[in-house]
Structures are given as C-alpha cells and as structure tokens.
Chains A and B, each alone.
Chain A
Amino acid sequence: MEAAAVSSPGLRRTRRLADRIGDKAFYLVTTLAAIFAVLLVVGIAWQLVAKAWPAIRQYGIGFVWESTWRVATPTLSELYGAREFLIGTIVASFGAVLIAAPVSIAIGLFLSELAPPSIRGPIGSLVDMLAAVPSVVIGLWGILVLGPFAHSTFVPWLNDVLGFIPFFGKPPPTAQSVFLAMLVLAIMATPIISSICRELFISVPSDLEEAAFGLGATRFEMVRGVVLPSVRGGVVAGIVLGLGRALGEAIAVTQVIGGSWPIKLSLFQPGTSLASQIANTYSSNVSPLNRASLIYLGLILLVITFTTNFIAQQIVHRFERQRLR
C-alpha cells in the first residue's frame, strides 16, 4: 500500500476513495438485507395479529376452546371457534410422530450400526430422497393409493382387533380420515427424524461402543446402554422437529383428512385441522369476521409451531452443553 502510494499518488487517491465508498456501501447493503430478513419475520407475525384483530376483539382467548364454527344462516348468526381444528391438528400430528419416531430411530440405528458400510450411503440418500418428495404428491398418493388400500386392508383389521377402544371405531365408507392424515404425516416426518438420528448415532465415540462390546455386551445392549443414553436429548429434539413439520403441514392433510367437523372419537372418521380449514375456505370470502377468524386460526398455528421449534432448539442447546462437558 505504502509502496504503491509513493510510486503513484493519483492511483492511491482514487483507490482509497473507491475503497472507502465501497466498504461503506457494502456494509450498508448487507446490513439492510439482514434488517429486511428480520423485519420479514416480525412483519409476518405482526400482520397475522393485525388481520386477526376483529376476531381477537370479538372472541378473545375463548376462541381457542369454542367448539362451534358456523357461518351466518337466516336464523343463526355467525360464530367461530378453533377447538375442533386445534384437536384435529394435534391428534393427527402427535399420532404421526407416534408412528414415525420408533421407525425413524430404528432406521437411524440400522444405518449407523447394522448395515454394511457399503450400503449405508445409498440407503441414507434414498431415505433423504423421501424428504424431498413434495407434500402435494404425497397427499395425492395418500388419497388415491394409500387411502383405498388402507381402507380395504388394515383399517378393518384394526377395527376388528382394537374395536373395543373408541379410537378405532367402525370406519365409514370414505377413505378420508384423521388416521390417513396420520399415516401421510408420518411418511413426511420419518426422513427428518431418521436423518437426525443417524447423524447422532454416528457421532457417538466408537471407543465408548467398543468398551461396551469389550465388556461382553450384545449389540442391542450396547445400543441401549451406550448409544441411546448419550444422544437422548438430540433424538428428542429431532422428534420435536418432526412434530413441528407435521403440525404446520397444510396441503397433504387437506387432501386426505376430509375437512369435516366436529371431530369424532374414532380416528377412522374424517376430521379437519387448522391449516386445512384455512386452505379450504380462505378463498371463499364469506364475511370479514370469517376471514379474521381464519387468520386467527393461522395465528394459533403459528404460535404452536413456534413453541414446538423453540422447545426443540432449547433441547438441542442443553444437549450440546452437556456434550461439551
């Protein structure tokens, strides 16, 4: 810099100027981009609250457990409440994770401990591929292939065997059901949870595993005694992340859940969810209060998914601190 400055003062001046402006402009542009990204998140949350405000003012927090969702009829006034949709969302998502979590952990174990090393990569990639399949395609497959198949085979069987439990009551003629939504969501959550599990299981130090083997443990005992306890927090976080994905899913659920309420006790009956109610009826502009109530549903969905992801992150943080020790 100094040498160049001595040989050609003119160059030095122009370069300095360009660099001074350039550095400032660069800093400004990147800062603005970062501010914009943050504002986007705040803006989305703010706008949901603002647009849902008429419904929030009308119903308050009681909206969450109000079970009626009724547009105005000649005799009755309109009345909106989120309970049925909330139940549908929670039942379908938790059911999905209940199915997906054990399968995903087993897949993670298979890919990290059992499978011959030469096939781990390809099978891992294939499972990851399942994550890339768009939800609308899974929904299409769910309603046209999986639904009819399940309806003619294992749904009646489940009803026969477990029919005494109200959740597995007699299936109606249609294949669309909360149960089908669970299966579809489970298919979507499995690749997320299993790839997290695989990474975690691989990260367990092999000297720990070998020490367990050296003490005469079988592979199952090694997994139960060493692998699972040392990454438990991470696995839980992965499952919660999968839950977050299932809670927010709109399209696939809309295709398979049937869109009817009130929610029945039997999982084989059609149901509804927060996201699918918005997807189904947002475009039909019934009344301002209806629109605001739908956005209120969206706000509830946002709060639930945010909380879920936040919990997952907290678990990850705690887990990482524990590991560092």
Chain B
Amino acid sequence: MNEGLPLQASGHSRRRLLVNHLAEGIAIVAALFALAVLAILVGSVFVRALPALSFDFFTQGPKYDEFGRLSGGIAPAIVGTFMLILIAAAFSIPLGVLTALWVSEFAPRHLADQVKLYLDVLNGFPSIVIGIFVYGLMVSSKIPILGLGHHPSAWAGGFALSIVMLPLISRTTMEVLALVPNSLREASYGLGVSKWRTVLSIVLPTAAGGIMTGTTLAVARAAGETAPLLFVCAATTQTIVWDPSQAVSSIPFTIFSDYDQAGGQAQAWGAAFTLIVLVLLSSLTSRYFLDRSKRKLGQVK
C-alpha cells in the first residue's frame, strides 16, 4: 500500500463500501427469510400433525361421532392416492417414454421441436383446466370410453394425473436420451444390430436412470395435485375402496375438504404431514436417480 493513501476508506469509497455491505445484507436476509418460511411451513405442519398421528390414523377410515365431529384415520385416502398414482404412471410412463424415443431416434428436427413445444405447453396448462377436460371426456360424455362409466372414478382421476405427469416424464427422458452418446448406438449398429433392438437393449438401459428421475419427479408433482381431481374423482370414503371404477379418496382432496369441518383440522394436518413425507421421499428418490445417471453417463463419455 502506498504511503500517500490512507488505510481507512473515506468519502466516495466509504459510501461504495457501505452500499456494498447493505446490498449483501439484503441478499443474506432474503435467503434466510425464504429458509425461515420453509422451516415455519414444514415445522407447523409437523407440530400440528403430531396430535393426530397414531397407528390408527394410517390404518383406519374417517369416522363421524353423533355430533358430526370428524375423527379416525385417512387409510382410504392413502390407498386412493397410491391407486391414482399407479393408474397415472401406468399410462404416462409408456406414453412419455415412447414419445421421447420418437423425438430422439426418429423425428426430423422441426417435428421434434414441435412435439417438445406441445409438451411444454401441456406442462404450462393450469391443472384445473385438465380437470375440466377429463370431466368432459370421461365423466359427462355421451360416448362410453372403454366402458368406464359416466361417473367420477379412479380411472378418470388417474388419467387426469397422467396428463400432469406426461410432460415431466417425457421432457426429462428426452434430455437424458440426448445425452446417450452416439458412439454407443453406432457400436451397436456396427455389430449389425437393428434399430429397435439397439434402442431396447442399449439406449433405454443407459437412459433408465433419467427415466426414473422424470417419473419420480412427476409422481412427486402428481401426488399433491388436487385441482385435476376436483370434478373427476373427488370423494371422502369411510372405508377403503379397491375398485378403480369408483371414486376413491385421495390425500390432497382429504386436506382440501376436511379443514373446515368440525374436528377436521387435526385430520387435515395429519394428511398434510403424510402428503409432505410422500412427496419429499419421491423428490429425494428422483435426486438420487439424477445423481446416479449423471455419474453413469459421465463415465460412458
């Protein structure tokens, strides 16, 4: 440091430093604020759910006492949510993966871009609109589709959730398929293997981690969706419904309908706790698959 310059900042420099500190402080406070909101949100769900949580809460159905007060458990909703997710996954995984395969293996560039665009548009659709669509298609329609009946059902709910899941699965799969090195495909073709066998035995296994990432991500999103279910599969049943042609309970809808009922707040918090745990487990699984497939694809290169 030159002797002519003072070590202490003064005047203009001092103001610049102060502004800098102020800005840094604001950024730190904002980040802490977001974390605090998350902590308070998750914390209050846990704290308020605690009184409701018990073994029976997960194994019993809801009960009403003589004054109409709600108690008991959410077993039908848990079973219902799993059933809806299963139906949605059974539909959206094949559809999403096959669409992604077409885009990455067959489609000319401009058509591929079109399909990607459509999937992005679908991803941006408000979920309540999907509910209206499925209501018109499967619940109120005059034409019986696959004989599914004209009433709310788990089939309709699962289909609605599959529309939510489809773009997530398909876009993630596309991104991973694009990462599968062409040298692998060319090695396979060089050995005289046909295209479909190459895709099934080389490309798909290499991309499996990515497909799992997309699927678990989509499950995490769909498990918490209420809006698409409102008109097509909204019910709170007191016993577990195993028949997918009937409307089933689901955890999100239980939260939505219980919280303003007498005695229902404890139920709603307990259900919210269950849902958060379910969604977080699913997100963490997706993160695990993402890391794994990144490592795997990194090695291949």
Chain A positions within 8 Å of B, measured between CB atoms, are: 1, 4, 19, 22-23, 25-27, 29-34, 36-38, 40-41, 43-44, 47-48, 51, 102-103, 106-107, 109-111, 113-115, 123, 125-127, 129-130, 132-141, 143-145, 187, 190-191, 194, 218-221, 223, 244, 247-251, 255, 275, 278-279, 282-283, 295, 298, 301-302, 305-306, 308-309, 313
Q: Using known A-B contacts A38-B115, A109-B27, A283-B230, determine if residue A137 contacts B255 with beta carbons closer than 8 Å.
A: yes
CB pair B255–A140 under 8 Å, yes or no, is: yes
Check A34/B107 contact, CB under 8 A, given A41-B121, A251-B256.
yes
B residues near A29, Cβ cutoff 8 Å: 98
Instruction: Establish whether residues A37 and B170, one from each chain, have CB atoms under 8 Å apart when the complex forms.
Output: yes
User: Known: A103-B33, A144-B259. Contact between A37 and B95, CB under 8 A?
Assistant: yes
| A26→B106 CA distance, assembly (Å) | 10
Q: How many residues of B contact A (CB 8 A)?
A: 87
Contacts of A27 in B (CB 8 A): 106
Q: Least Cβ distance of A136 to chain B in Å?
A: 5
Shortest Cβ gap from B185 to chain A (Å): 14
Nearest chain B residue, comparing its CB with the CB of A50: B136
Could you say which of B22, B194, B276 contacts A19, with CB atoms under 8 Å apart?
B194
Residues of A within 8 A of B262 (CB): none
Nearest chain A residue, comparing its CB with the CB of B282:
A132
Contacting pair B124 A137 (CB below 8 A): no
Contact with A along B1-45 (1 / 0, CB 8 A): 000000000000000110110111011111101110110111011
Q: Which B residue sits closest to A27, measured CB to CB? A: B106
Given contact pairs A22-B194, A136-B256, A279-B227, A190 touches B34 in the complex (Cβ within 8 A): yes
Q: List 17 A-B contacts (CB under 8 A).
A: A26-B199, A30-B98, A30-B102, A37-B95, A41-B122, A48-B132, A114-B28, A134-B224, A136-B256, A220-B23, A248-B125, A250-B227, A255-B259, A279-B227, A279-B230, A305-B125, A308-B124
CA–CA, A33 to B94, complex, Å? Answer: 8
By the criterion CB–CB under 8 Å, are A106 and B170 in contact?
Answer: no
- B17 close to A22 (CB less than 8 A): no
Q: Which of A4, A44, A109 contacts B125 (CB 8 A)?
A: A44
Q: Which of B19, B133, B234 has the most chain A CB within a 10 Å cutoff?
A: B133
Q: Which residues of B contact A (CB under 8 A)?
A: 16-17, 19-20, 22-24, 26-31, 33-35, 37-38, 40-42, 44-45, 48, 94-96, 98-99, 101-103, 105-107, 114-115, 118-122, 124-133, 135-137, 163, 166, 170, 192, 194-197, 199, 220, 223-227, 230-231, 234, 252, 255-256, 259, 265, 268-269, 272, 275-276, 279-280, 283, 287
Is the CB–CB distance between A126 and B20 below 8 Å?
Answer: no
B172 to chain A, nearest CB (A): 14
Q: Are B99 and A33 in contact (CB under 8 A)?
A: yes
Chain B proximity of A47: nearest CB distance (Å): 5
Cβ 8 A contact of B20, one of A44, A51, A218: A218
With A107-B31, A140-B259 known as contacts, the answer to whether A298 contacts B129 (CB < 8 A) is yes
Contacts of B128 in A (CB 8 A): 248, 250, 275, 278-279, 298, 301
Q: Are B102 and A34 in contact (CB under 8 A)?
A: yes
Which among A26, A38, A106, A275 is the interface contact of B27 at CB below 8 angstroms? A106
Shortest A276–chain B CB gap in Å is 9
A311→B3 CA distance, assembly (Å): 56
Q: Given A30-B106, A132-B280, A136-B224, do A305 and B124 touch, yes or no (CB 8 Å)?
A: yes
Residues of A with C-beta under 8 A to B103: 34
10 pairs of A and B residues whose beta carbons are closest in the complex: A134-B224, A248-B126, A106-B30, A33-B98, A19-B194, A30-B102, A26-B196, A218-B20, A1-B192, A110-B31
Contacting residue for A141 out of B19, B23, B41, B94, CB 8 A: B41
Q: Are A187 and B127 in contact (CB under 8 A)?
A: no
Q: How far is the CB of B175 from chain A (nearest CB, A)?
A: 15
Q: Work out how many contacts link A and B, with CB atoms closer than 8 A.
A: 244
Partner of A127, one of B35, B163, B279: B35
Known A106-B26, A218-B20, A250-B227; 7 more pairs at CB < 8 Å: A33-B98, A37-B118, A37-B119, A143-B259, A220-B19, A283-B234, A302-B129
Given A30-B98, A107-B30, CB of A283 within 8 Å of CB of B226: no
Cβ distance A135 to chain B, nearest Cβ, rounded Å: 7
**Could you say which of A22, A41, A125, A250 contacts B126, with CB atoms under 8 Å apart?**
A250
Are the C-beta atoms of B45 and A244 separated by less than 8 Å?
Answer: no
Nearest opposing residue in chain A for B128, CB measure: A250
**Best-surrounded residue of B37, B195, B268, B287 (most CB of chain A within 10 A):** B37
Q: Is the CB of A4 within 8 A of B101?
A: no
User: Could you tell me the distance in whole angstroms from the C-beta of A233 to the nearest C-beta in chain B?
Assistant: 18
Residues A133 and B259 in contact, CB atoms below 8 Å apart? no
Residue of A nearest to B33 (CB): A103
How far, in Å, is A253 (CB) from chain B's closest CB? 10
Question: A276's closest neighbor in chain B, by CB?
Answer: B128
Known pairs A144-B259, A255-B256; A40 contacts B35 (CB<8 A)? no
Closest to B190 in A: A1
Contact B101–A30 (Cβ < 8 Å): yes
Contact B136 A47 (CB under 8 A): yes
Q: From the candidates B26, B42, B223, B268, name the one contacting A134 in the complex (CB within 8 A).
A: B223
Given A43-B133, A221-B16, A283-B234, do A34 and B275 touch, yes or no (CB 8 Å)?
Answer: no
A211 to B26, CA, bound (A): 24
Could you tell me if B125 and A130 are in contact, using CB atoms closer than 8 angstroms? no
Task: Contact check, A47 vs B137: say whether CB atoms are below 8 A apart.
Answer: yes
Given A19-B194, A31-B106, A279-B128, A40-B166 contact (CB < 8 Å) = yes
